[in-house]
Structure 1
Amino acid sequence: MGEKIVEARDIGHAYVRGRATLRGVSLGISRGELVAIVGENGSGKTTLARHLNALIPLQEGELSVTGIDAGDPSRVWELRRACGMVFQNPENQFVSSVVGEDVAFGPLNFGADEPEAREAASAALSAVGLAGFERRDTHALSGGQQQRVALAGVLACDADVIVLDEATSMVDPRGRDELVRAVARARDERGTTVIWITHDMELAARADRVVVMREGEVAADGIPADVLA
């Protein structure tokens, strides 16, 4: 594939001394790729994902995302703008009960003025199929709609990389399909790189690559037809 937008070399991490959660993880992801990271609970996949936008600081190894050194504390906010995350429970990342205000928060936080932020929010909501939802109450939406609002918040910041951490696990099949379609549109129209952390093997089968984590290490990495077989 082409330009590497994520480059991880020998990433190691331990929450408790002597009990490593990540052990020498090395991984490259190209611009525009859709990569599924799978593995049982405790395999290290979420820990790896949270390194990608500095929610967890580097302890060992090197990590570059969109050319930004994830180990440089002075570039944390730059990194978080370039690499946005959508979490398992969208309500945990809402900062406003009004959809438009919530989606506009990211651009405002990164320096946009209010008209620019509102415009970015409206465009992002349209991109995820929620045009006209600006004045809706976030807590009155379905689970799938809430996840698409969370995704819109990332898109409004013009993120190059989107990491979805079990983002379909708490929604019904319809909500799951709505989110998958919205992510696919973002990838097709913007060239966004997408990293799915998931237990959903059907979703993983649609990816360009599947990375299997086991006990803090990369156990397999390849096209779905090979890895999932």
Structure 2
Amino acid sequence: MPLAFATPAPDAPLPVAGVDEAGRGPLAGPVVVAAVVFPRGRTPVNGLDDSKALSAERREQLYPRIIERALAWQVVSIEVEEIDRLNIYHATMLGMRRAIEAVAARVGAVEALVDGNALPKGLPCRARAIVGGDASERAIMAASILAKVSRDRYMRELHARWPDYGFDEHKGYGTPAHRAALQRLGPCPAHRRSWAPVQATLQAPDLFAECVPG
């Protein structure tokens, strides 16, 4: 059920909720969505950019500044099981809706600016999809940084559980080293079994089929 809020006048200025994701393309790990609300017309964090244009060190520096100075923020992780059940598009839309609902519940009426060309259904607020928004809208830049940093940290945790796959290096993307590990070992519980490159390795022994990560 969408959250309900009083509808402001059509021309009323609203705080902006930037929304972006990290991890749509990898073979393993969650897709992570973040929403960041800044006051209308203000961006109280300097140095923002598309997360892909920033070094890992710079993203880590900006992360605490964003969460300290935003009106509201939320990071949502959609795990592998939901990705396999829903497909990556619908899993991403679900994450976006959850993130927007969370910040809207704290701030009230917002305008969501979503990176990309599609919007989740059932949003509780105004929303616009902006292709290339992570390079043009500062609230989306902030969301892209939170999503990327949060996902990279999570993938390092997965590396500690299953170090043979190199998750700390490739973050689950289908690099040659990752594909070679999949061919050698088969998938672990962090892999997206609905994805063709992972499915192609399922004839290899699934050494982790009964493994519950601790």
The TM-score normalised by the length of structure 2 is 0.29
The TM-score normalised by the length of structure 1 is 0.28
Higher strand residue share: 1
Higher helix residue share: 2
